[in-house]
Amino acid sequence: MPAAWTGPSAPGDYITIAAAGSAEGTYLNYCYTTAPSPCIINAPDTAGPYEIRYVTGAQGKTLATEPLLVK
């Protein structure tokens, strides 16, 4: 699935998919923001609620989330 973003794109920043409500630092598939936007991230095979997260590489802190429902 394509994931588009705007953001700081600092070194090590990445876009990831994680289970909804999972702990900070949890991730499944990801792409670094140094890749052109949008990047392609493989959605999980298991149905359920997930989040797309923009995570800082320097601090590992989630800056933004977007809900994702895999059916």
Q: Residue 2, exposed/middle/buried by CB under 10 A (0-12, 13-18, 19+)?
A: exposed
Burial of 50 (0-12, 13-18, 19+ CB in 10 A): buried
pLDDT of residue 21: 94
Q: What is the pLDDT of residues 18-64, one digit of tens each?
A: 999 999 999 999 999 988 889 999 999 999 999 999 999 888 899 99
pLDDT at residue number 64: 93
Q: What is the pLDDT of residue 4?
A: 85
